Amino acid sequence: MGLFRLIYDSSVLMAQSVPEALEALSDQDAGAALVAGATWVVRAQGRHMPLARRFIALSNIPQLGLIAKNGSYVAIGCMVTHHVLAQALPDIPVLRALRQAAGGSANPGVRQVATIGGNICAADFAAADLVAAALCLDATVELQGVKGTQPLALADYLSVRAHRSGAEILTEISIPISNACSAHARLTLRKAGDYPVVIVSMRAARRSDKTLRDVRIAVGSVEATARRWTSVERALEGQIPTPAELQGLAANHIAEFTPREDIGAPGWYRAQVLPHVLCSAYADLLGQLEGNVA
């Protein structure tokens, strides 16, 4: 009975501070998993993965749930939920893609509990809306470990997140503020109960001659990990094509993707519809840029 109770007692730790969470995470024998909104971790068995033996919950650490505008960037705590992000993110044009992504992800109930930190850290979740949105906004993540804090570009973090060792917690996401605009588009096969087949987030500013500059395109759900579409970004710099022209241009670069296959959609389908979703995001972005010459 004593051992029985001990296992139960330790199955969830409500950490009161980041150092406490890090200390618990360092105990490799505990088989612990960090829990933000819990929406991914609790479904491990549905993915034929073992449920972590111990949950280390971050929801009792208030500073991880804050959004703050600090001069030239916005800092978002890892525990900020999609719902709060959609409601409370500063009303700045460049952040619109992130607001759209947060306000349209999953469904209203899940948005109340799922967090931006969870979205970014779930390495095996390919269809995370917030990852694509943050990627197109040049986000930086702050990783706190036992030896200190390390900032890392989100793009770099995504490429190594599944292989990082040692106890660390992604505590904050920083997004630089600029005079660019942004847009987010996603395609689901049904209105409800579906992950997006393709996600596209775009960011760009306009030159005085109305051509585009500082173009960013992030594509999610097509491959296992969201990534930038740099060849099309380069092709757009200094140009201002129509949405139809961009769709044609993008189709010429589709072969750069190795689309994933899963129960949601075959790979060829994801590749086929990607230029259309890009076109949709671009049309939205052009609407935002109208009158925003900088």
Partner 1 sequence: MPVNLTLNGEARTFFGDLRTSLLDVLRQTFRLTGTKPVCGEGFCGACIVHIDGVAVPSCLRPIGLLEGACVTTIEGLAPLDAPNPLQLAFQDQDVVQCGMCFPGMVMALSKFLQTNSTPSRSEVKAAMIGNICRCTGYERIVDAVLSLQSGERAQ
Contact 84, 112 (CB under 8 A): no
Residue with tokens 């987010």: 184
Span from 5-13, 146-154, 247-255, 281-289 in contact with partner 1 (CB under 8 A): 5-13
Pinpoint the alpha helices (H) of the chain. 2-9, 18-26, 82-88, 96-104, 108-111, 116-121, 129-136, 154-160, 230-236, 243-251, 267-289
Whole-number Å distance between alpha carbons of 183 and 288: 8
Least Å distance between CB 41 and partner 1?
A: 8
Size of the site for partner 1 (CB under 8 A): 29
Task: At 228, list the tokens.
Answer: 């930038």
Between 52 and 66, CB nearer to partner 1: 52
Q: At its nearest, how many Å lie between partner 1 and the CB of residue 99?
A: 15
| Stretch near partner 1 under the rule CB under 8 A, chosen from 51-59, 127-135, 200-208, 262-270 | 51-59
Q: Does 17 bind partner 1 (CB under 8 A)?
A: no
CB of 86 to partner 1, least distance (A): 12
Dihedral angle of Cα 138, 139, 144, 149, to the nearest 10 degrees: 50
Q: Which two tokens mark 263?
A: 């129960």
Question: Using an 8 Å Cβ cutoff, are 282 and 212 in contact?
Answer: no
Judged by beta carbon, residue 55 or residue 229, the one nearer partner 1 is 55
Among 3, 9, 72, 263, binds partner 1 (CB under 8 A): 9
Contacts to partner 1 from residues 100-129, by CB under 8 A = 106-110, 112-113
> Which among 279, 226, 223, 227 has a CA at the least distance from the CA of 250?
279
Angle, CA 151 vertex, CA 61 and CA 98 arms, to 5°: 70
Residue (8 or 255) nearer to partner 1, CB = 8
Residue 53 or residue 69: which is nearer to partner 1 going by CB? 53
For residues 174-193, which are near partner 1 according to CB under 8 A?
191-193
CB of 247 to partner 1, least distance (A): 28
Binding site for partner 1 (CB under 8 A): 7-9, 11-12, 14, 35, 37-39, 42-43, 46, 51-52, 55, 57, 59, 106-110, 112-113, 191-194
